[in-house]
Protein backbone atom coordinates (compact mmCIF):
# COMPACT_ATOMS: atom_id res chain seq x y z
CA UNK A 1 0.00 0.00 0.00
CA UNK A 2 2.83 2.38 0.91
CA UNK A 3 4.59 1.48 -2.33
CA UNK A 4 1.51 2.42 -4.35
CA UNK A 5 1.22 5.76 -2.56
CA UNK A 6 4.90 6.50 -3.21
CA UNK A 7 4.47 5.72 -6.89
CA UNK A 8 1.44 8.02 -7.08
CA UNK A 9 3.35 10.84 -5.39
CA UNK A 10 6.31 10.30 -7.72
CA UNK A 11 4.02 10.29 -10.78
CA UNK A 12 2.31 13.51 -9.71
CA UNK A 13 5.70 15.11 -9.05
CA UNK A 14 7.04 14.09 -12.47
CA UNK A 15 3.84 15.33 -14.13
CA UNK A 16 4.09 18.65 -12.27
CA UNK A 17 7.74 19.11 -13.30
CA UNK A 18 6.84 18.27 -16.91
CA UNK A 19 4.06 20.85 -17.12
CA UNK A 20 6.16 23.44 -15.26
CA UNK A 21 8.99 23.07 -17.76
CA UNK A 22 6.67 22.81 -20.76
CA UNK A 23 4.88 26.01 -19.78
CA UNK A 24 7.93 28.07 -20.67
CA UNK A 25 8.49 26.54 -24.11
CA UNK A 26 6.94 28.52 -26.97
CA UNK A 27 4.97 26.55 -29.53
CA UNK A 28 6.12 29.02 -32.15
CA UNK A 29 8.79 31.71 -32.25
CA UNK A 30 10.26 34.13 -34.75
CA UNK A 31 13.82 35.29 -34.06
CA UNK A 32 14.13 37.43 -37.23
CA UNK A 33 17.79 36.48 -37.55
CA UNK A 34 18.01 37.40 -41.23
CA UNK A 35 14.80 35.49 -42.04
CA UNK A 36 11.04 35.79 -41.71
CA UNK A 37 10.79 32.06 -41.04
CA UNK A 38 9.89 30.64 -37.65
CA UNK A 39 12.65 29.05 -35.59
CA UNK A 40 11.56 25.57 -36.76
CA UNK A 41 11.11 26.74 -40.39
CA UNK A 42 7.47 25.62 -40.49
CA UNK A 43 5.89 29.08 -40.76
CA UNK A 44 6.91 32.36 -42.39
CA UNK A 45 5.72 35.94 -42.46
CA UNK A 46 5.14 37.32 -45.95
CA UNK A 47 6.88 40.40 -47.31
CA UNK A 48 10.24 41.89 -48.24
CA UNK A 49 12.13 42.33 -44.97
CA UNK A 50 14.62 44.92 -43.77
CA UNK A 51 16.88 43.51 -41.07
CA UNK A 52 18.84 45.64 -38.59
CA UNK A 53 20.91 45.18 -35.42
CA UNK A 54 19.05 43.52 -32.56
CA UNK A 55 19.15 44.58 -28.90
CA UNK A 56 22.42 42.69 -28.43
CA UNK A 57 24.00 44.53 -31.37
CA UNK A 58 23.94 41.47 -33.63
CA UNK A 59 23.76 42.51 -37.30
CA UNK A 60 20.57 41.50 -39.12
CA UNK A 61 19.11 40.15 -35.89
CA UNK A 62 15.88 42.18 -35.81
CA UNK A 63 13.14 43.22 -38.25
CA UNK A 64 12.52 46.88 -39.06
CA UNK A 65 8.96 47.99 -39.81
CA UNK A 66 8.44 51.48 -41.22
CA UNK A 67 4.72 51.86 -41.95
CA UNK A 68 4.82 48.34 -43.29
CA UNK A 69 2.99 45.28 -42.00
CA UNK A 70 3.69 41.56 -42.22
CA UNK A 71 1.30 38.64 -41.96
CA UNK A 72 1.71 34.91 -41.51
CA UNK A 73 -0.58 31.91 -41.15
CA UNK A 74 0.23 30.43 -37.73
CA UNK A 75 -1.68 27.26 -36.96
CA UNK A 76 -0.64 27.30 -33.29
CA UNK A 77 -2.59 30.46 -32.43
CA UNK A 78 -4.89 29.62 -29.47
CA UNK A 79 -8.55 29.75 -30.48
CA UNK A 80 -11.46 31.16 -28.51
CA UNK A 81 -10.86 31.65 -24.81
CA UNK A 82 -8.01 29.13 -24.55
CA UNK A 83 -4.93 30.20 -22.52
CA UNK A 84 -2.19 32.06 -24.33
CA UNK A 85 0.91 34.19 -23.95
CA UNK A 86 2.44 36.37 -26.65
CA UNK A 87 5.74 38.15 -26.05
CA UNK A 88 7.79 40.40 -28.31
CA UNK A 89 10.79 42.73 -28.07
CA UNK A 90 10.16 46.20 -29.57
CA UNK A 91 12.29 49.31 -30.08
CA UNK A 92 10.28 52.32 -31.21
CA UNK A 93 12.03 54.53 -33.76
CA UNK A 94 9.26 57.11 -33.41
CA UNK A 95 6.91 57.66 -30.47
CA UNK A 96 4.87 60.61 -31.75
CA UNK A 97 2.65 58.30 -33.81
CA UNK A 98 0.75 55.11 -33.05
CA UNK A 99 2.60 51.79 -33.24
CA UNK A 100 0.46 48.72 -33.94
CA UNK A 101 2.50 45.83 -32.55
CA UNK A 102 0.58 42.59 -33.23
CA UNK A 103 -2.94 41.25 -33.70
CA UNK A 104 -5.05 38.28 -34.66
CA UNK A 105 -8.75 37.48 -34.61
CA UNK A 106 -11.84 39.15 -36.01
CA UNK A 107 -12.75 42.83 -35.45
CA UNK A 108 -15.97 41.86 -33.68
CA UNK A 109 -16.90 42.42 -30.04
CA UNK A 110 -14.53 40.37 -27.85
CA UNK A 111 -13.02 38.41 -30.76
CA UNK A 112 -9.83 40.41 -31.32
CA UNK A 113 -6.42 40.24 -29.65
CA UNK A 114 -4.22 43.23 -30.53
CA UNK A 115 -1.49 45.19 -28.76
CA UNK A 116 -0.68 48.78 -29.66
CA UNK A 117 1.30 51.70 -28.24
CA UNK A 118 -0.45 55.05 -28.66
CA UNK A 119 1.41 58.30 -29.53
CA UNK A 120 3.44 59.64 -26.63
CA UNK A 121 2.65 62.94 -24.94
CA UNK A 122 4.77 64.45 -22.20
CA UNK A 123 6.94 61.34 -22.09
CA UNK A 124 4.00 58.98 -21.49
CA UNK A 125 1.95 56.83 -23.85
CA UNK A 126 -1.18 54.71 -23.58
CA UNK A 127 -0.48 51.00 -24.06
CA UNK A 128 -3.66 49.26 -25.21
CA UNK A 129 -4.78 45.67 -25.54
CA UNK A 130 -7.67 45.75 -28.00
CA UNK A 131 -10.43 43.15 -27.76
CA UNK A 132 -12.79 45.20 -29.96
CA UNK A 133 -15.52 47.01 -28.12
CA UNK A 134 -14.66 49.48 -25.35
CA UNK A 135 -15.54 47.07 -22.54
CA UNK A 136 -13.09 44.53 -23.97
CA UNK A 137 -10.11 46.90 -24.16
CA UNK A 138 -7.42 47.49 -21.55
CA UNK A 139 -5.34 50.69 -21.47
CA UNK A 140 -2.41 51.67 -19.25
CA UNK A 141 -0.36 54.88 -19.34
CA UNK A 142 3.38 54.11 -19.34
CA UNK A 143 6.59 56.09 -19.86
CA UNK A 144 7.87 55.68 -23.42
CA UNK A 145 11.27 56.59 -24.86
CA UNK A 146 12.25 56.06 -28.46
CA UNK A 147 15.30 53.99 -29.46
CA UNK A 148 14.84 51.86 -26.33
CA UNK A 149 14.18 48.11 -26.34
CA UNK A 150 11.13 46.88 -24.39
CA UNK A 151 9.85 43.33 -23.89
CA UNK A 152 6.04 43.20 -24.04
CA UNK A 153 4.23 40.12 -22.74
CA UNK A 154 0.47 39.51 -22.71
CA UNK A 155 -1.06 36.51 -20.94
CA UNK A 156 -4.61 35.15 -20.72
CA UNK A 157 -5.64 32.10 -18.66
CA UNK A 158 -9.28 31.89 -19.79
CA UNK A 159 -10.41 34.56 -17.34
CA UNK A 160 -7.58 36.88 -16.27
CA UNK A 161 -5.68 39.08 -18.73
CA UNK A 162 -2.26 40.41 -17.73
CA UNK A 163 0.00 42.88 -19.50
CA UNK A 164 3.72 43.12 -18.72
CA UNK A 165 6.64 45.22 -19.88
CA UNK A 166 10.24 44.26 -19.13
CA UNK A 167 9.02 41.49 -16.84
CA UNK A 168 6.95 43.85 -14.66
CA UNK A 169 3.17 43.47 -14.36
CA UNK A 170 1.46 46.63 -15.60
CA UNK A 171 -2.17 45.60 -15.27
CA UNK A 172 -4.32 42.57 -14.47
CA UNK A 173 -8.02 42.43 -15.38
CA UNK A 174 -10.52 39.57 -15.07
CA UNK A 175 -13.87 38.75 -16.69
CA UNK A 176 -13.12 40.29 -20.08
CA UNK A 177 -14.05 38.24 -23.13
CA UNK A 178 -11.04 37.03 -25.18
CA UNK A 179 -12.58 34.86 -27.91
CA UNK A 180 -10.14 35.58 -30.75
CA UNK A 181 -10.38 33.08 -33.59
CA UNK A 182 -8.31 32.82 -36.74
CA UNK A 183 -4.83 31.83 -37.78
CA UNK A 184 -3.50 34.99 -39.43
CA UNK A 185 -1.01 36.74 -37.17
CA UNK A 186 -0.18 40.32 -38.16
CA UNK A 187 2.56 42.68 -37.02
CA UNK A 188 2.32 46.39 -37.73
CA UNK A 189 -1.45 46.36 -38.34
CA UNK A 190 -4.73 47.02 -36.55
CA UNK A 191 -7.57 45.52 -38.59
CA UNK A 192 -6.95 47.06 -42.06
CA UNK A 193 -4.79 50.00 -40.90
CA UNK A 194 -0.99 49.96 -40.88
CA UNK A 195 0.98 52.16 -38.48
CA UNK A 196 4.37 51.34 -37.02
CA UNK A 197 7.90 52.71 -36.94
CA UNK A 198 9.84 50.22 -34.89
CA UNK A 199 12.30 47.33 -34.78
CA UNK A 200 10.98 44.02 -33.46
CA UNK A 201 12.67 40.85 -32.32
CA UNK A 202 11.97 37.45 -30.75
CA UNK A 203 8.21 37.14 -31.18
CA UNK A 204 7.10 34.11 -29.14
CA UNK A 205 3.76 32.34 -28.85
CA UNK A 206 2.75 30.06 -25.96
CA UNK A 207 -0.43 28.04 -25.42
CA UNK A 208 -0.34 28.62 -21.66
CA UNK A 209 -0.69 31.72 -19.50
CA UNK A 210 2.81 32.22 -18.14
CA UNK A 211 3.12 33.10 -14.47
CA UNK A 212 4.56 36.36 -13.13
CA UNK A 213 7.78 34.52 -12.29
CA UNK A 214 8.06 32.96 -15.75
CA UNK A 215 7.49 36.30 -17.49
CA UNK A 216 10.18 37.93 -15.34
CA UNK A 217 12.60 35.07 -15.97
CA UNK A 218 11.97 35.33 -19.73
CA UNK A 219 12.92 39.01 -19.55
CA UNK A 220 15.94 38.54 -17.30
CA UNK A 221 17.31 35.74 -19.49
CA UNK A 222 16.94 37.65 -22.75
CA UNK A 223 17.78 41.26 -21.89
CA UNK A 224 21.19 42.77 -22.74
CA UNK A 225 23.54 41.82 -19.92
CA UNK A 226 25.96 43.97 -17.95
CA UNK A 227 27.47 44.32 -14.51
CA UNK A 228 25.98 47.05 -12.31
CA UNK A 229 28.77 49.51 -11.50
CA UNK A 230 27.11 52.26 -9.49
CA UNK A 231 23.75 53.92 -8.81
CA UNK A 232 22.78 57.54 -8.38
CA UNK A 233 19.69 59.75 -8.35
CA UNK A 234 19.42 62.51 -10.94
CA UNK A 235 17.15 65.54 -10.35
CA UNK A 236 16.30 67.28 -13.60
CA UNK A 237 14.71 70.76 -13.62
CA UNK A 238 14.05 70.53 -17.36
CA UNK A 239 15.88 67.85 -19.31
CA UNK A 240 18.46 65.31 -18.27
CA UNK A 241 21.73 66.09 -20.00
CA UNK A 242 24.08 63.35 -21.07
CA UNK A 243 25.86 62.14 -17.92
CA UNK A 244 29.63 62.14 -17.72
CA UNK A 245 30.82 58.62 -16.97
CA UNK A 246 34.37 58.03 -15.83
CA UNK A 247 35.90 55.06 -17.59
CA UNK A 248 39.20 53.28 -17.56
CA UNK A 249 41.16 52.04 -20.54
CA UNK A 250 40.08 48.49 -19.69
CA UNK A 251 36.38 49.37 -20.13
CA UNK A 252 35.07 49.50 -23.66
CA UNK A 253 31.70 51.16 -22.97
CA UNK A 254 28.95 51.64 -20.43
CA UNK A 255 25.19 51.11 -20.52
CA UNK A 256 22.76 53.23 -18.53
CA UNK A 257 19.46 52.03 -17.08
CA UNK A 258 16.88 54.67 -16.10
CA UNK A 259 14.15 53.93 -13.54
CA UNK A 260 10.99 55.88 -12.66
CA UNK A 261 8.56 54.90 -9.88
CA UNK A 262 10.45 51.62 -9.44
CA UNK A 263 10.13 50.60 -13.09
CA UNK A 264 12.85 50.60 -15.72
CA UNK A 265 11.81 52.93 -18.54
CA UNK A 266 15.00 53.16 -20.56
CA UNK A 267 18.21 51.30 -21.35
CA UNK A 268 20.78 53.29 -23.33
CA UNK A 269 24.43 54.17 -23.83
CA UNK A 270 23.60 57.75 -22.84
CA UNK A 271 23.20 59.14 -26.35
CA UNK A 272 19.43 59.63 -26.09
CA UNK A 273 18.96 60.25 -22.38
CA UNK A 274 18.14 63.89 -23.11
CA UNK A 275 14.82 62.67 -24.58
CA UNK A 276 13.54 62.10 -21.03
CA UNK A 277 10.90 64.51 -19.77
CA UNK A 278 11.39 66.63 -16.66
CA UNK A 279 11.46 64.54 -13.49
CA UNK A 280 13.46 62.60 -10.90
CA UNK A 281 15.04 59.32 -11.98
CA UNK A 282 17.20 56.53 -10.61
CA UNK A 283 20.22 55.86 -12.80
CA UNK A 284 22.23 52.63 -12.96
CA UNK A 285 25.56 52.76 -14.78
CA UNK A 286 26.55 49.34 -16.12
CA UNK A 287 29.83 48.07 -17.55
CA UNK A 288 29.15 46.32 -20.85
CA UNK A 289 32.64 44.78 -20.64
CA UNK A 290 34.37 44.05 -17.34
CA UNK A 291 37.93 44.88 -16.45
CA UNK A 292 40.50 42.47 -17.76
> What is the value of pTM for the model shown?
0.71
Mean pLDDT on 203-215: 97
Taking domain 22-220, whether its CATH number is 2.60.40.10 is answered by no
Residue 53's pLDDT band (boundaries 50, 70, 90)?
A: very high
Mind listing the pLDDT tens digit for each residue in 90-125?
Answer: 999 999 999 999 999 999 999 999 999 999 999 999
Statement: residue 180 has pLDDT above 70? yes
Statement: residue 208 has pLDDT above 60? yes
Higher pLDDT, 132 or 16: 132
Sorted by where each begins, the domain ranges of the chain are 22-220, 227-287
Residue 38's pLDDT band (boundaries 50, 70, 90)?
A: very high
* Best CA proximity match to 264, nearest among 148, 108, 110: 148
**% of residues, the chain, pLDDT over 70:** 71
Mean pLDDT on 179-185: 95
The secondary structure of the chain, three-state, reads CHHHHHHHHHHHHHHHHHHHHHCCCCCEEECCCCCCECCCCCCECECCCCEECCCCCCCCCEEEEECCCEEEECCCCCCECCCEEEEEEEEECCCCCCEEEEEEECCCCCCEEEEEECCCECCEEEEEEECCCHHHCEEEEEECCCCCEEEEEEEECCCEEEEEECCEEEEEEECCCCCECCCEEEECEECCEECCEEEEEEEEEECCCCCHHHHHHHHHCCCCCCEEEEEEEEEECCCCCCCCCCCCCCCCCEEEEEEECCEEEEEECCCCHHHCCCEEEEEEEEECCCCC
Residue 244's pLDDT band (boundaries 50, 70, 90)?
A: very low
Amino acid sequence: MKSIKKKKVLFVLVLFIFFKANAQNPVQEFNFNGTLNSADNTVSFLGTPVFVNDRMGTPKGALRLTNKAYQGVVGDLPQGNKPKTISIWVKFNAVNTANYIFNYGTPVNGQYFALLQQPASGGNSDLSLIGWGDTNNITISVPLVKDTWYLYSVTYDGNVTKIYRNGQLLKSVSDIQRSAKGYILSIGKLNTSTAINADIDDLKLYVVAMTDEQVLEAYESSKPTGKVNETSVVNSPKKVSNPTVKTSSAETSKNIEVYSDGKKIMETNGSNISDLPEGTYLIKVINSAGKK
